[in-house]
């Protein structure tokens, strides 16, 4: 069936509208300038300059996003709708952009001290390719249209394909890049196929118009079988992007083959962007589904089942893992399950804080993962490998580095005085409030199981001799990134209230998430 496509008429972008896109424009302009500088500057000096300029571009973009959030909160106006509501400047997207940009800033900061020529031959390419990658993630967070969403997705995907394979002379990197391109292509195909079904059934790509078409009398009932196909295809596509079991098999090989800063970017920004899109699509299209149709209930239940599978498979597969990068990949599979829970429980009863729970845990996930990968980068450089035994005796070789790693491990395990504890607790309480007790039980069980392999890292640092291992040298920039992450992880664990309170106060699910056609 089709709807009046006049509601989706093209609206050109004006100069005043373009100002709202300043954070994205800044990143693209910086990328173009850095490409030219990389060609003009001497090799040795140019790499460091490009790294610092990349950091400057990200900080400038972050400043504009924060300014826009403050400006929107000060005024009474609703979201800013651009290009026929295909691109939205709202609290939902803006808060996620802050997380994505902050994560990328920390990744660049940690890489300034650890990335050497033997790790990444073309450091300039590594730095300026991060800019379009995070731009794609930002586009995904603000998309209100399937076409805009897909453009952002491909911009993120193509640049990360290159970043994974940037170590051209490494067979392991080439293998990881090949697997990532193949699985990424399958994911994009599944998403595009599912989206094409939605377009064919409704005649629209805008989420608001699709929602309106599905709510028309009898529409969902007449086409419900095809809608199941569309949504399950998209769930499979997003499942690959977030590395949720059973769509996770690519992650350990890709994480191991990619340079450590790229691995951190995949684990955080790529995963977060896909989850953000899944959040907006499912809530916009399925939450208001007529009670007589079970599509919405079934899709939200499917997301909870996917979350449960990710938590169970991620934690149990990590039990016998001895490679640190592969361990972090499987940890990311389990954490994808935790992040899917606020989406899957929808809004039931009096539970209205799904987004706050999701964003808080995503922020904690950024800090503990960037910090852990930063420590791993210096430990693996000293040891010459990525195995867990490289952490042997770390407390005696580098006590402050070991102390920071303890903070990150405790947060990953979800133990008190860390952000990870309250992140998991808020999600668990939200699921309990929605009466999804079975997913609560799986969350608790998977967290308890994860203690074994997380504390294996601590056991290596304190209870294994490190006499045969080389001295661990922590570069200044990497040390700054590590301790920013460690301190903020503790802050989120000690005073979580102001953060989640600020999110819930400034985010309105009706105003900022749901897309309506006026």
Query: What's the rounded Cα separation, in Å, for the pair 260 and 346?
Result: 35
Name the burial class of residue 437, with classes exposed (0-12), middle (13-18) and buried (19+) by CB atoms within 10 angstroms of its CB: exposed
Is 5 inside a domain boundary? no
Whole-angstrom distance, CA of residue 232 vs CA of residue 190: 9
Report the DSSP beta bridge partners of residue 145: 206
The answer as to whether 145 is a domain residue is yes
Mention every residue, 6+ apart, whose C-beta is less than 8 A from residue 102.
62, 366
Tell me, yes or no, whether 490 lies in a domain: yes
Residue 12 lies in a domain: no
Q: What SS3 state is found at 76?
A: coil
Question: Is residue 10 in some structural domain?
Answer: no
| Residue 446 within a domain | yes
The three-class DSSP label of residue 250 is coil
Whether residue 9 is contained in a domain is answered as: no
- Asked whether residue 7 is assigned to any structural domain, the reply reads no
Provide the domain limits for residue 458.
Answer: 18-513
Full-model pTM = 0.93
Per-residue pLDDT of the chain (518 residues; tens, 9 = 90+): 444 444 445 566 677 777 889 999 999 999 999 999 888 877 666 567 888 999 999 999 999 999 988 887 766 567 888 887 889 999 999 999 999 999 999 999 998 877 765 567 677 888 989 999 999 999 999 999 999 999 999 999 999 999 999 888 888 889 999 999 999 999 999 999 999 999 998 888 999 889 888 877 555 566 788 889 999 999 999 999 999 989 999 999 999 999 999 999 999 999 999 999 999 999 888 877 665 677 888 899 999 999 999 999 999 999 989 999 999 999 999 999 999 999 998 766 556 688 899 999 999 999 999 999 999 999 988 888 888 988 988 888 889 999 999 999 999 999 999 999 999 999 999 999 888 899 999 999 999 999 999 999 999 998 776 556 667 888 899 999 999 999 999 999 999 989 988 888 888 887 888 877 66
User: Between β-strands 80-82 and 87-89, what pairing exists: parallel, antiparallel or unpaired?
Assistant: antiparallel
Token code pair at residue 144: 């209100």
The one-character DSSP state at 258 is S
Domain total of the chain: 1
Cis? peptide before 147, omega within 30° of 0? no
Q: What is the pLDDT of residues 96-118, one digit of tens each?
A: 999 999 999 999 999 887 776 55
pLDDT given at position 266? 95
Residue carrying the six token digits 């867990």: 388
């Amino acid at each position: 069936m089709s709807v009046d496509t006049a509601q989706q008429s093209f609206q050109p972008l004006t100069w005043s509208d373009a100002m709202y896109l300043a954070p994205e424009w800044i990143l693209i302009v910086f990328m173009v300038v850095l490409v030219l500088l990389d060609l003009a500057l001497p090799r040795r000096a140019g790499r460091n300059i490009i790294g610092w300029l990349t950091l400057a571009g990200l900080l400038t973009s972050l400043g504009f996003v924060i300014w826009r959030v403050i400006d929107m909160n000060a005024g009474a106006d609703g979201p800013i709708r651009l290009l026929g509501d295909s691109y939205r400047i709202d609290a939902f997207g803006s808060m996620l952009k802050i997380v994505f940009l902050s994560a990328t800033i920390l990744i660049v900061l940690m890489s300034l001290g650890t990335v050497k020529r033997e790790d990444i031959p073309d450091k300039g390419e590594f730095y300026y390719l991060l800019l379009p990658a995070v731009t794609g993630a930002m586009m995904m967070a603000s998309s209100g249209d399937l076409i805009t969403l897909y453009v952002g997705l491909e911009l993120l995907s193509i640049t990360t394909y290159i970043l994974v394979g940037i170590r051209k002379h490494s067979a392991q990197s080439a293998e990881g890049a090949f697997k990532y391109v193949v699985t990424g292509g399958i994911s994009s195909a599944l998403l595009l196929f599912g989206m094409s079904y939605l377009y064919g059934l409704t005649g629209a790509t805008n989420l608001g118009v699709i929602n309106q078409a599905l709510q028309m009398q009898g529409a969902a009932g007449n086409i419900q079988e095809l809608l199941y196909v569309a949504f399950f295809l998209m769930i499979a596509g997003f499942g690959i992007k977030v590395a949720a079991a059973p769509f996770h098999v690519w992650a350990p090989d890709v994480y191991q083959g990619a340079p450590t800063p790229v691995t951190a970017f995949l684990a955080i920004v790529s995963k977060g962007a896909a989850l953000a899109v899944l959040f907006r699509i499912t809530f916009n299209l399925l939450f208001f589904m007529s009670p007589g149709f079970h599509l919405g209930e079934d899709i939200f239940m499917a997301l909870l089942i996917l979350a449960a599978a990710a938590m169970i498979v991620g934690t149990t597969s990590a039990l016998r893992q001895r490679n640190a990068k592969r361990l972090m990949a499987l940890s990311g599979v389990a954490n994808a399950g935790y992040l899917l829970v606020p989406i899957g429980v929808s809004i039931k009863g009096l539970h209205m804080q799904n987004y706050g729970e999701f964003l808080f845990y995503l922020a904690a996930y950024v800090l503990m993962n960037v910090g852990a990968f930063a420590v791993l980068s210096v430990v693996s450089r000293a040891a010459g490998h990525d195995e867990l035994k490289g952490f042997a005796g770390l407390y005696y070789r580098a006590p402050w580095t070991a102390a920071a790693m303890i903070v990150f491990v405790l947060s990953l395990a979800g133990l008190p005085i860390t952000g990870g504890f309250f992140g998991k607790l808020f999600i668990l309480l939200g699921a309990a409030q929605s009466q999804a007790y079975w997913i609560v039980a799986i969350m608790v069980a998977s967290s308890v199981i994860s203690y074994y392999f997380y504390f294996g890292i601590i056991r290596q640092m304190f209870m294994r001799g490190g006499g045969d291992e080389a001295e661990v040298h922590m570069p200044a920039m990497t040390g700054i990134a590590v301790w920013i992450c460690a301190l903020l992880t503790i802050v989120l664990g000690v005073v979580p209230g102001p953060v989640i309170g600020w999110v819930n106060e400034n985010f309105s699910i009706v105003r900022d998430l749901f897309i309506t056609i006026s």
